[in-house]
Amino acid sequence: MKKILGICLLLLSHWAFAQTQLIRITTRNTSLLYSVNAQGRLIQRYFGQTVTADSLAKSSQEAYLTAGMESLLEPAIRIVHHDGNPSLELKYQSHNASRENNTTHTVISLKDPVYPVSVTLHFESFYEEDVIRAWTEITHTEKSPVLLTAYASSMLHFNAGKYWLTQFHGDWAKEAAMVEESLTPGIKTLESKLGVRANMYQSPMFLLSLNNAAQENTGETIAGTLAWTGNFKFDFQVDEKRALHVSAGMNPYAADYTLKPGEVFTTPAFIFTYSSKGKGQTSRNLQHWAVNYGVLDGRTPRLTLLNNWEATDMHFDEQKLTSLFGGAARLGVDLFLLDDGWFANKFPRNSDNAGLGDWEPNREKLPHGLGHLVKEAGKQGVKFGIWLEPEMVNPKSELYARHPDWIMKLPNRDEHYYRNQLVLDLINPAVQDFVYGIVDKTLSENPGIAYIKWDCNRMLTNTYSPYLKEKQSHLFIAYTRSLYKVMERVRTRYPHLPIMLCSGGGGRTDYGALKYFTEFWPSDNTDPVDRIYIQYGYSHFFPSNTMAAHVTNMGKQSLKFRTDVAMMGKLGYDIKVDDFTPQELQFSRDAVTTYNRIRDIIWYGDLYRLVSPYEAPRAVFQYTSPDKRQAVVFHYLMNTRRTDVFNVVKLQGLDPQRNYRIKEISLFPGTSSSFSNQVYTGDYLMTAGISLTPGRVKPLTSNILEITAE
């Protein structure tokens, strides 16, 4: 009895001590503060601009809400114990922080006082970038498994007069469309239930503004995204006192998880940043964080490329392909990418209804195999890349006939096809070996392949995993984890091979996958006007060197306009170079040269969205080098009218004391610039501004200005 009393007194003294201190998670401009209340529970005291006053308390809400107790709010976690008790209480146990250079890792341990269940909250703060990664670990030592039915990565609480939410939604060819709305009492949910190609309708990212609608350069803004390539869920609950509670994590829909004793359930990271200076600053925070920490080889130069898809579709042979290598060489790009249609023999891949799963080169199209193409491209001074879709299978394939047990489909139901294909049961270790083997065999048998486009054209429907059997509720989580297992193996063997993440366009755009991929394909829609909107949306969360942007024949705009839009991302081409006029070829060669010269400013500089396409029939973007000595301005006139009047544009992020020369670059041969080659002070450019339409306003025209300090 005395021993129990002593333990209780020790815990009480421990909690009393915890109440007197703040747990600080800080960056250069942000503070997230926690403390422990009288009941021993962890509470969020504050989140916002950096503060020093310990007494400041904007919130006293429990940090990681549990189900089954007294709270009336949506919980972060719900657990059913082995005895059927559906409640959880979490009390503070300890915390510690370790710092390494720019990064601080804070760990807060919580535990149920009755059941042996532990929850550990992790926060990794990046000081210079003002970004925080938060994730949770759940474990227990009960006698038998427990059931997890909710498992958020993190929660945040806010007290403001009003809240404005910006979501990024869409469909195939309509990705990352922005919609902003005021949050009202109740719950607003952004989610995906598609499993694979999970971002098809809703991207896993949001902007939240406090008190007023989101502004580019003013106001309190939070940008959040989930590092998870599967089902996600963001809940925004405004309670009866107008406090807002935000939870972010994997979607628990149809995903109850049976957690074994001793097993650690780790959630994906919720990545977020705060700024008191608007959404422009949150974008720059995330972009700088991404190139340093979030994307594979974020500071390694990306490859410009020529894709064969528009030139040949799936209808090509060896001679036709090798003739295209010269076009890549004439353009001056780094790589030729062979897209879909190069594989399968019994069921040749001549359309999208056959061949997926049979990953041997088609002997009729490529009698000398891929290795011959690698060598022929090399003779032209061009690297060679290949398209793969290894997670998928066509019913019309040898793999389908050989391994029906490897395919996700419902028993006793008709098969449901999307793009004439089904999803392989990647949860099965044998399928993981097969998918990894596709990549390894392709690369090892054809040394010199320098790039992979990894596609994924189908979501999950009529889904059942033969491997999981009675544990079907684990399917959605297990699939994504299995994809990561495969990619870990790929990256162990091929650590720096550039791989594009593609999923029927922008069906996979998240930092969970970008740990393994160097870039992503934002959309199959390459119409440059549409791409301005798509790239504008993604720019709120991703740096330019992750967004593959190709010059194609989609749309009716000039080659210059199409090229200028693509130069704002990771430049590539998907076009018939042989159809170019001499002037078009010269312009494109010069554009590639110019892009390679200015790309570091676009990839690693500070982005300022000066004019939004949502607010005017034009868009203006500025990229400025970290030392403020150089900047590049992209100006696009879209579907303008004769009566449109465009005001001067005030630049941002320059040194007011420096003089800057403005020069138009990437001009089409035979044309002259309407911009005089003049010098202005940084103060003038930011305070007075300049006209970006000095000549006649013409719809669907564009300019790129290079601004250099003297």
| Domain ranges in the chain with CATH number 2.60.40.1180 | 607-709
Q: CA-to-CA distance for 99 and 89, rounded, in angstroms? A: 30
Q: 607-709, superfamily in CATH?
A: Golgi alpha-mannosidase II (2.60.40.1180)
Neighbouring residues of 95: CB distance < 8 A, sequence distance ≥ 6: 23, 106, 107, 108, 109
Cα end-to-end distance, the chain, whole Å: 80
Main-chain dihedrals φ then ψ at residue 304, nearest 5 degrees: -75, 150
Q: CA-to-CA distance for 340 and 224, rounded, in angstroms? A: 34
Neighbouring residues of 9: CB distance < 8 A, sequence distance ≥ 6: none
Average pLDDT per consecutive 10 residues, the chain (710 residues; last block may be shorter): 47 51 95 97 96 64 97 97 98 98 98 98 98 99 98 98 97 97 98 97 98 96 98 98 97 98 98 98 98 98 97 97 97 98 98 98 98 98 98 98 98 96 98 98 98 98 96 98 98 98 97 98 98 98 98 96 98 97 98 98 98 97 98 97 93 98 97 93 98 91 97
H helix count then E strand count, the chain: 12, 36
8 A C-beta contact, residue 519 and residue 549:
no
Residue 236 token pair: 């925004």
Helix (H) or strand (E) holding 280: helix 279-289
According to the model, what pLDDT value does residue 9 have?
45
The torsion of the CA quartet 160, 161, 163, 164, rounded to 10 degrees, works out to: -130
Q: Which CATH number fits domain 22-294: 3.40.1260.10, 3.30.70.100, 1.10.8.50, 2.70.98.60?
A: 2.70.98.60
DSSP state of 336: E
> How many C-beta neighbours within 10 Å does residue 480 have?
23
The per-residue DSSP string of 4-36 comes to HHHHHHHHHHHHHHHHTS-EEEE-SSEEEEEEE
Q: CA-to-CA distance for 621 and 441, rounded, in angstroms? A: 43
Q: CA-to-CA distance for 197 and 194, rounded, in angstroms? A: 7
Q: CA-to-CA distance for 440 and 445, rounded, in angstroms? A: 8
8 A C-beta contact, residue 600 and residue 632:
no
CA distances from 162 to 97, 158, 234, 276 (A): 34, 10, 18, 15
| Closest by Cα among 491, 133, 156, 519 to 293 | 133
Residue 549 token pair: 């942007």
Q: CA-to-CA distance for 234 and 205, rounded, in angstroms? A: 9
Q: What's the maximum distance between 2 C-alpha atoms anywhere in the chain?
A: 95
Residue type at 528? Answer: P
According to the model, what pLDDT value does residue 642 have?
87
DSSP state of 269: P
CA distances from 708 to 600, 618, 628, 699 (A): 14, 24, 9, 28
CA distances from 306 to 181, 385, 574 (A): 40, 10, 6
| Closest by Cα among 680, 674, 649, 682 to 662 | 680
User: Which residues are bridge partners to 42 per DSSP?
Assistant: 36
Neighbouring residues of 313: CB distance < 8 A, sequence distance ≥ 6: 341
8 A C-beta contact, residue 339 and residue 308:
yes
| Closest by Cα among 286, 175, 273, 272 to 520 | 175
> How many C-beta neighbours within 10 Å does residue 492 have?
9
| Domain ranges in the chain with CATH number 2.70.98.60 | 22-294
Sign of CA dihedral 616, 618, 623, 624: negative
